Chain A
Amino acid sequence: MKNLQLNTEGKLKHFLSIDGLNKEILTEILDTAESFSSMSEQRVKKVPLLRGKTIVNLFFENSTRTRTTFELAATRLSADVLSMNIATSATSKGESLLDTIRNLEAMHVDMFVVRHAISGAGHFIAQNTAPHISVINAGDGQHAHPTQAMLDMFTIRQHKHDFSELKVAIIGDILHSRVARSQIQALNTLGTKEVRVIAPKTLLPSHVESLGVSAFNTLEEGLKGVDVVIMLRLQKERMTSALLPSEREYFKCFGLTEERLKLAKSNAIVMHPGPINRGVEIESSIADGPQSVILQQVSNGIAVRMAIMSLTMQSNGEPL
């Protein structure tokens, strides 16, 4: 099957998943983001790359942070941005999703940034939208959150440079995490030496090793000697669905404390896609401490999303 995300010249047309993208494309995104990242310190924070283009943020699931950084990224590229929060039940039919898309298409928009609670929603929209429209996946169900993964890669590269030397541990609810799936694929595509996932078995998907990771059921074992520690957010509803007994027990076993962080390399960085649950997955003193790069991730999010937006628009139609 041809990769839906690439145009006939192999350039990025949609950005739906890290899956199927090669190292060159990921590196191009990171390099492009680098050229944008200094912009935020300038007095005029805008470039005219997407002037005259209309970008629609379609958020079927709420997310202030992701939506805001997409809005900012689009604005800094001089695009016109429309943000729509579409309250929807998890059972809403494809028909209505399709109708929403068709209606917006009729208004001659150029890009959809989509967040949806169902895995595959981004693919579905990309397959069913007009050919001139690019689709960027801002998180779909438990499948992928590729822009988050790329901003994480960008942050890691800022601090660690060479992926082939790195050991990275991802800790928490891997099973339900689209962020983790995209991070794992990105880390492996970029040639990371070792990717580990650490969680109780209830929060690990079956056949997790098939993703190219080694799995650990204790934090102490998994953290040993890692360069990068990525914490995932723990959703409250995991306690009520017989996946975990309590937040307290989770923190006791899998919470990142200063004591435990010492098991990692002394210069290890600590990451979190946010928003963080202080005292549930991470101790406050680490979140705010010297090894934390959590806020840098947020700022990098803008540059990385600018890069992805401009690259997909570039390959889609007239030169910019």
Chain B
Amino acid sequence: MKKILISNGQIIDPANKIEQIGNIYIADGKILAVNEQLSDFTADISINAVDNIVCPGFIDLSARLRDPGQSYKGTIASETKAAASAGVTSLCLPADTSPVIDTVAVTELIADKSEKANYNQVYPIGALTQGLAGTELSSMHALKEAGCIAVSNATIPLASLLVARRAMEYASSHDLLVMYHPNVPSLSNNGCAHEGVFATRYGLPGIPEASESIAVAQYLELAELTGCRLHFSQISSRRSAIKIQQAKKYGLKVSADVAIHQLHLTENDIEPFNSSYHVLPPFRTKKDQQSLRESLANGTIDIICSDHQPHDRDAKLGAFPETEPGISSLETLLPLTLRLVHDNAITLSQGIAALTQNPAMTLGIQSGTLSPGLAADICIFDPSLSWTINHDSWKSAGCNTPFWGQTLKGRITHTLQSGKIIYTL
């Protein structure tokens, strides 16, 4: 394996509290040294990172690759290319593939396909229930053995709180993390936009915040009852954040993430009936957005994820409520995180921690930092490089982003996965 030297970059490694200009030495796919002068190191490849930032590769807790099952929307090959170009070196694949990730066979199929795509760290999330039907437990132990990093029922509701309780008890017996998208379906009631000023004006079926925060409250109780490690996926409301903050203060082992676009867009930003803004949970109010940003800064929300959901053109071609929700968002993850720093919502180090150290901690993996001895998962980016989202710059098969055509600041120049360069600009 090649020896790589990344020189003179601004190294930011929140886990090791490093923020300084220096060199990183990589050999045998692992980090050999950071910020030391190695006299006997002859690099096969040298990357000059001057004026660029060098940090751990991003770990994305939710990226749909649409594969297996929906290759007309995206494939493991196309979407891992997008991930690599976005600095993402590890990603979690939600269980709602087709067939769903509830058997060892599907898990292995995903591993095979990822290997063929030369992208190694796709972590499948196992289905919490068989077929995601919400009634019977999946073979969680077998799924864990096969490589599933956590279990979740994706966005599909469970039949009852009793099933939820038992699933959490069983998962925690196998020390599996449970990921949960908080939603009470009878309250969200097939809505397609936040129940607020926008939905009222345009006559769209609304989703109240309470459909999320009630679910958060219920599952916090269940986490305490069962002792299960619980992670809330993609929260969107202030009231959810308040409940999670209280629970953390009280000592519950819970974590939470937010989708990057939730930190930038609100219901006020939606262009009327433009389906690229159709996303679940929906864009909420300015107040919610403000609270989500504060929660990220104060550690209530640990993680920023992409919640990448590429779609084919037809999925977004229709009257707003009839279109499929979701945003193709891997490639905007970095520039939109930098925009949070620019807005003084968080520091750069906090932003990078929310993309690296914190998700690694939640998943319990040895990653997300630049400690010597660890696999060299690294990304290098130019924080001031502007680029425009168009067909030339975009890698994902899904062009469904409300940021299409916009010019964003901050671009990945190199991505290394286990010491292998998987992307260069």
Contact = CB atoms under 8 A, between A and B. Distances in A.
B314 A94 contact: yes
B196 to A, nearest CB: 6
Interface in B189-238: 195-197, 199-206, 208
Contacts of A143: 202-204
Interface string B270-291: 0111000000000000000000
Contacts of A94: 314, 317-319, 322-323
B403 interface: no
Interface in A75-103: 91-95, 97-98
A309 to B, nearest CB: 23
A14 interface: no
Contacts of A1: 271-272
Contacts of B206: 205-206
A276 B320 CA distance: 30
Interface string A16-31: 0001000000000000
B319 A116 contact: yes
B321 interface: yes
A95 B318 contact: yes
A98 B323 CA distance: 13
Given A1-B271, A119-B204, A143-B204, A205 B199 contact: yes
A207 B320 contact: no
B201 A210 contact: yes
B317 A98 contact: yes
A141 B320 CA distance: 11
A46 interface: no
> Which of B317, B319, B320, B323 is packed against the most chain A CB atoms within 10 Å?
B319
A183 to B, nearest CB: 13
Interface in B318-353: 318-323
A119 B196 contact: no
Interface stretch (A120-128, A155-163, A292-300): A120-128
Contacts of B205: 119, 142
A121 B199 CA distance: 15
B99 to A, nearest CB: 23
A210 B202 contact: no
B190 to A, nearest CB: 10
B203 to A, nearest CB: 4
A123 B197 contact: no
A144 B318 contact: no
A218 B321 CA distance: 32
A118 B114 CA distance: 40
Interface string B171-197: 000000000000000000000000111
Contacts of A123: 272-273, 319
A47 interface: no
Nearest to B323: A94
A207 B268 CA distance: 14
Interface residues of B, number: 23
Nearest to A184: B201
A89 to B, nearest CB: 11
B271 A142 contact: no
A211 interface: yes
Interface residues of A, number: 30
A99 to B, nearest CB: 11
A271 to B, nearest CB: 20
Contact of A19 (B201, B208, B323): B201
A12 B143 CA distance: 60
A226 B208 CA distance: 33
A144 B203 contact: yes
A141 B203 contact: yes
Interface in A231-276: none
Given A205-B206, A206-B195, A97 B318 contact: yes
Nearest to A98: B317
A140 interface: yes
A236 to B, nearest CB: 19
Contacts of A206: 195-196, 199-200, 206, 208
Contacts of B323: 94
Contacts of A93: 314, 318, 322
Contacts of A205: 199-200, 206
B187 to A, nearest CB: 12
Contacts of B321: 118-120, 141
Nearest to A206: B195
B318 A124 contact: yes
A181 interface: yes
A226 B321 CA distance: 36
B238 to A, nearest CB: 16
Contacts of B195: 206
Contacts of B200: 205-208, 210-211
A124 B208 contact: no
Interface of B: 195-197, 199-206, 208, 271-273, 314, 317-323
Q: Nearest 9 pairs between A and B by C-beta?
A: A94-B318, A142-B203, A143-B203, A120-B273, A120-B319, A205-B200, A118-B319, A121-B319, A120-B320
28 contacts: A1-B271, A19-B272, A91-B322, A93-B318, A94-B319, A94-B323, A95-B318, A97-B319, A98-B318, A118-B319, A118-B320, A119-B319, A119-B321, A120-B319, A121-B319, A123-B273, A124-B318, A124-B319, A142-B203, A142-B204, A142-B205, A143-B204, A181-B201, A205-B199, A206-B195, A206-B199, A207-B196, A210-B200
Given A128-B317, A142-B205, 14 more contacts: A1-B272, A93-B318, A94-B314, A94-B318, A95-B314, A118-B322, A119-B203, A119-B204, A120-B320, A123-B272, A205-B206, A206-B195, A210-B201, A211-B201
Interface of A: 1, 19, 91-95, 97-98, 116, 118-121, 123-124, 128, 140-144, 178, 181, 205-208, 210-211
